[in-house]
């Protein structure tokens, strides 16, 4: 789902936070999205009706769901967030501020309305480069369960880390480039890194980046802060077609591990405006400033299958399977209080393949599914912003209080209202950008769709996957 133009004034269901808390409604995106990566921007937060499908395609719709309208090149794609934790807004009264108004997430509303059996999901980002050879190269997002047909036979389970917002942490024991009969080590020493699908890149220590530079012949462009490839290097790497293997586990050495193998095509991406002025191939690797930035983004999740369980506080990672023609096998994950002794991930297979509002939620990615917040694009004036944070399980607010003074403006973060440029890609170009699409979609949900507030007799707590449209497919990454 490429970010389209979201016109707040045209939305009959939009409710601004300005009318609720009597402030500007602007808050910083940095603490909720791309935590610690130094990528920020402001969003005008409010509430609107949000659904999981377009044009009455069947999905669920929830009223009064948090939405942020943004206008910054750092977030030029729409994002659909699936954290179950509430968002806590700073409420200002005079010269003081306090954290007093937590708002539930879309994910938690699904659970509280008994529309999914548990706060869990299964996710893989999808693969553009496989789309010509594999019919099920689409990404997959299942709320309340997972697709067993995509889950690899070899996997490792992890406990959540203590860092709220970066709970999905794995130990990378090694990274190896393999071509012909030659293996090259790309990671000088083992590290811990967080899984984060809200951005595409892999963030590694500078020493590891140097190893990649030597192994692949790539160069860092300090201006664009990207590994931009010229045509000679690009063609050479495609011809070489090396594999890169990430070995991950719970600890930096020993213990259970799983190997996630990437063909070079996984790294063959194209950057264009607003990242750079003209479209060019780039390698999705970033130099981390410190260990808090070590991150595995959507590039990693092309070839990995992730199952996260926020009720059991654990997750599982495996190599995604690529078997053409295999039927989907949606499995529900029971709640934490289930009597099932294997309730971590081994749920029950859904018997009814039909889609039912109040029964699902799953998405065959005909749109972009990211972990983060729902960021819908629009053009607005620059305004002041306030801080926003996510509540931990046992919040301690004293250290989270924002500076009551205005936060300095960041030049270039938001577009002035008179700008005619929109944060969306040119649909007429055939370049492989991070996402592609042949049409734009309005962010507002079709008013004729059935809403989530429905008769209890129609609700079921099973996890199903929405039928994907082959004519309207979109892939997570080129």
Domain boundaries along the sequence of the chain = 1-119+351-478, 152-320
Task: For Cα atoms 425, 87, 169, give the angle at the middle one, nearest 5 degrees.
Answer: 75
Question: Both tokens of residue 443?
Answer: 């962010």
d(CA 397, CA 284): 36
One digit per residue, pLDDT tens: the chain, 478 residues?
345 667 777 888 888 877 666 566 777 776 556 567 877 777 888 889 988 876 666 778 898 888 888 777 777 677 788 888 887 776 665 544 555 668 899 999 999 999 999 999 999 999 888 887 887 788 999 999 999 999 999 999 999 999 888 899 999 999 999 999 899 999 999 999 999 988 899 999 999 999 999 999 999 999 999 999 999 999 999 999 999 999 999 999 999 999 999 999 999 999 988 888 899 999 999 999 999 999 999 999 999 999 999 999 999 999 999 988 788 999 999 999 876 554 444 455 554 433 333 334 444 433 333 333 333 323 233 333 444 444 344 333 233 333 333 333 333 333 333 333 333 333 333 344 343 333 333 333 333 333 333 334 344 455 544 444 444 444 434 4
Structure tokens, 261: 């193998």
Q: Which pLDDT tens digit goes with each residue over 137-177? A: 889 999 999 999 999 999 999 999 998 888 999 999 999 99
Nearest residue to 361 (alpha-carbon basis) of 47, 61, 66: 61
Retrieve residue 74's tokens: 């750092």
pLDDT at 91: 64
DSSP one-letter code for 213: H
Say how far apart CA 177 and CA 299 lie, in whole Å: 16
Overall fold of domain 152-320: Cathepsin D, subunit A; domain 1 (2.40.70)
User: Half-sphere exposure (CA, 13 Å, Cβ side) for 174?
Assistant: 14
Q: What is the pLDDT of residue 454?
A: 37
Strand order from edge to edge, sheet including 388-390: 96-103, 87-93, 388-390
pLDDT at 11: 85
- Rounded to whole angstroms, the Cα distance separating 68 from 48 reads 10
**Residue 424: CB atoms within 10 Å:** 17
Q: Tokens 């802060």 sit at which residue?
A: 225
Are 141 and 167 contacting, i.e. CB atoms less than 8 angstroms apart?
A: no
Which of 243, 238, 241 shows the shortest CA–CA distance to 178? 243
Residues making up the chain, counted from first to last: 478
pLDDT of residue 403: 36
DSSP letter assigned to residue 369: -
Please say whether the beta carbons of 83 and 90 come within 8 A: no
For residue 183, give both structure tokens: 């293996």
Tokens of 94: 């005079």
Helices (H) and strands (E) in the chain, counts: 4, 28
Chain Cα centroid distance, residue 79: 7
- Residue 5 DSSP label: B
Tell me the C-alpha distance between 167 and 21, whole Å.
30
Half-sphere CA count of 370, side-chain side, radius 13 A: 31
- pLDDT for res 136: 77
DSSP string, 230-285: -HHHHHHHHHH--EEEEEEESSSSSS-EEEEEEEGGGG-EEE-TTTSSS-EEEE-E
250 sits in the region (left: phi over 0; alpha: psi -120 to 50; else beta) called alpha
């Amino acid at each position: 789902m490429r970010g389209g133009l979201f016109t707040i004034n045209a939305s009959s269901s939009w409710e601004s936070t300005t009318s609720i808390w009597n402030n500007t409604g602007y808050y910083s995106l940095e603490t909720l999205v791309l935590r610690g990566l130094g990528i920020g921007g402001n969003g005008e937060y409010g509430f609107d009706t949000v659904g999981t499908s377009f044009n009455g395609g069947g999905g669920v719709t929830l009223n009064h769901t948090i939405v942020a309208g943004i206008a910054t090149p750092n977030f030029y794609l729409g994002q659909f967030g699936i954290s179950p934790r509430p968002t806590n807004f700073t409420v200002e009264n005079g010269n003081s501020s306090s954290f007093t108004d937590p708002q539930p997430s879309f994910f938690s509303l699904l659970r509280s309305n008994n529309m999914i059996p548990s706060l869990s999901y299964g996710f893989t980002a999808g693969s553009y480069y496989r789309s010509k050879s594999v019919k099920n190269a689409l990404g997959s997002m299942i709320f309340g369960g997972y697709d067993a047909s995509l889950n690899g036979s070899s996997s490792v389970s992890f406990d959540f880390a203590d860092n709220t917002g970066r709970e999905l942490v794995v130990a990378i024991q090694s990274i190896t480039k393999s071509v012909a009969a030659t293996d090259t080590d790309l990671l000088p020493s083992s590290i811990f890194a967080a899984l984060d699908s809200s951005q595409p890149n892999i963030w590694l220590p500078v020493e590891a980046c140097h190893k990649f530079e030597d192994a692949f012949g790539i160069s860092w462009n300090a201006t664009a802060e990207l590994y931009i490839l010229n045509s000679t290097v690009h063609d050479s790497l495609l011809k070489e077609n090396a594999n890169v293997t990430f070995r991950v586990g719970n600890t930096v050495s020993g213990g259970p591990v799983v190997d996630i193998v990437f063909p070079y095509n996984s790294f063959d991406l194209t950057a264009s405006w607003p990242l750079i002025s003209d479209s060019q191939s780039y390698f999705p690797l970033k130099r981390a400033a410190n260990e808090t930035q070590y991150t595995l983004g959507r590039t990693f999740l092309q070839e990995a299958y992730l199952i996260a369980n926020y009720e059991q506080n654990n997750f599982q990672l495996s190599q995604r399977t690529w078997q053409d023609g295999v039927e989907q096998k949606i499995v529900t994950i029971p709640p934490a209080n289930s009597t099932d002794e294997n309730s971590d991930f081994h749920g029950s297979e859904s018997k009814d393949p039909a889609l039912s509002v109040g029964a699902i939620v799953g998405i065959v990615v005909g749109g972009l599914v990211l972990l983060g917040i729902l960021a819908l694009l629009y053009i607005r004036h620059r305004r002041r912003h306030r801080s926003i944070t996510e509540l931990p399980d046992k919040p301690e607010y004293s250290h989270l209080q924002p500076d009551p003074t205005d936060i300095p403006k960041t030049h270039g973060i938001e577009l002035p209202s008179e700008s005619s440029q929109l944060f969306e890609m040119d649909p007429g170009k055939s370049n492989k950008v991070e996402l592609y699409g042949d049409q734009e979609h309005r962010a507002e949900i079709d008013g004729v769709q059935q809403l989530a507030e429905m008769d209890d007799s129609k609700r079921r707590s099973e996890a199903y996957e929405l039928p994907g449209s082959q004519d309207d497919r979109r892939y997570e990454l080129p």
